Amino acid sequence: MTDAPRLVVFDVDGTLVDSQAGILAAMDAAFGRAALPVPPRGEVLGIVGLSLEVAMARLVPDLSAQDHARLAGWYREAYAGQRAREDVAMTSPLYPGAREALQALHGEPATLLGVATGKSARGLDVLFEAHRLSSFFVTRQVADHHPSKPHPSMLRAALDETGVAPRDAVMVGDTEYDMEMARAAGVRAIGVGWGYHAPVRLRAADHVVGRFSELPRAISALWEAA
């Protein structure tokens, strides 16, 4: 096992928290405001993790870029309205075992934790405040400052900020976009089976776990195999 610093980067929606209720409600509001049919639930959850304009282009490819931007703006407004009205910790709950896994990894002296998410900085701040997660993470990469996943920009920035080499980093996520981003950055990847993409879509992962309790051991196995 290497003595060099190690970095574990987490996706958020579908990996750490189950935010699908809020995502679906905001998408309903945005498409309703545009007088467009709301895409099926599976299609909406299938684009979680992409930046909003890219996600809208996937959902309604026949619309113009201007329309995609308008839909994205309406989605943001609806989601922000939900945050103001509701208890975020209740509407976007942590998955079972998430906090315990974060605590275990955070307690390892050589392990640093980070986030790479399609959320905005404001959305991530609100979520982390609600769940008291801020102290776990030394680097946070958000959609405001990067191209959409699976572009490797978020992971490259996290590596630069922490000084960790790609071989000593791992990405943990629930979508194929997370796995492809990791591959593009030269980082290993662990998929989680409880999120918004079925495990069969996580083909680029080095390993897929079915429960959070399996994650620390899966990460240790990657370090030992390096």
Helix, strand, coil fractions of the chain, as percent rounded to 5: 55, 15, 35
174 is catalytic: no
13 is catalytic: yes
Active-site residue, from 11, 18, 174, 206: 11
Active-site residue, from 13, 18, 174, 178: 13
Non-local (6+) Cβ contacts of 109 within 8 A are: none
Non-local (6+) Cβ contacts of 205 within 8 A are: 179, 189, 190, 191
Residue reference for tokens 């191209």: 147
Q: Name the pairing type of β-strands 139-141 and 6-10.
A: unpaired
Q: Strand order of the sheet with strand 169-173?
A: 139-141, 111-116, 6-10, 169-173, 188-192, 207-209
Peptide bond into 147 cis (omega under 30): no
CB-neighbour burial class of residue 118 (10 A; exposed 0-12, middle 13-18, buried 19+): buried
Q: Which of 122, 150, 151, 19 is nearest to 140 (CA)?
A: 122
Q: Which SS3 state, helix, strand or coil, does residue 50 take?
A: strand
Category of 179 on φ-ψ map: left (φ > 0), alpha (ψ -120 to 50) or beta: alpha
Report the catalytic residues.
Answer: 11, 13
